[in-house]
Amino acid sequence: MWKKHPKALPFLFFSEMWERFGYYLMIGIFTLYLKDVKAGYSMTEAESADLYGTFIALVFLTPFIGGLLADRYLGYRRSIIMGGLMMGLGYCLMSVHNLAMLYISMTMVIVGNGFFKPNISTLLGNVYTTPQYVHQKDDGYNIFYMGINIGAMIAPVVTQILAQRYFGTSDMPAYKVVFITAGLGMVISLFW
């Protein structure tokens, strides 16, 4: 499968897969964390839904700005690395139980996503511009999107495994473990 495509495809595939793994791992427990009375912030359903909705809206808004900055000033590779570092650090900082830190970490994830998401897709399109590969661009995007789906599919399974292992134990609180694991997923994404 990889041999007929540019050498960059597997790297972009696994980077995006691990990025989606981290995102869906974090988002899968986010509102539960906000509403948790003991380990979270004791928010009501309405408060947690407002914060979650605002977070998701900004996650979808910032790629427009991140794409513009990458096109005009930063370049795609630099933007992807910068965005990935911000998201990984933001996920890990969510494990710190402090309301101010929660907002800082959410901002880092939002801004990091803005730099990462649009530019990795653009970078993929750019590796298919040579005459040798231009006819395989659609196939390349299909393979790339399989990485997104694999990362999204693995995240809930890992969340469940971590939840069974850490919820209700005296070890490290489960939310912290999940957030740190999401951050590690982002580090693996950058490594690729």
pLDDT tens, position by position, 110-127: 999 999 999 999 999 999
171: left (phi over 0), alpha (psi -120 to 50) or beta: beta
Per-residue model confidence as pLDDT tens for the chain (192 residues): 667 899 999 999 999 999 999 999 899 889 999 999 888 999 999 999 999 999 999 999 999 999 999 999 999 999 999 999 999 999 999 999 999 999 999 999 999 999 999 999 999 999 999 889 999 999 999 999 999 999 999 998 988 887 777 765 655 677 888 898 899 888 888 877
81: left (phi over 0), alpha (psi -120 to 50) or beta: alpha
CB atoms within 10 A of CB 132: 10
Q: Fill in the amino acid letter for 140.
A: G
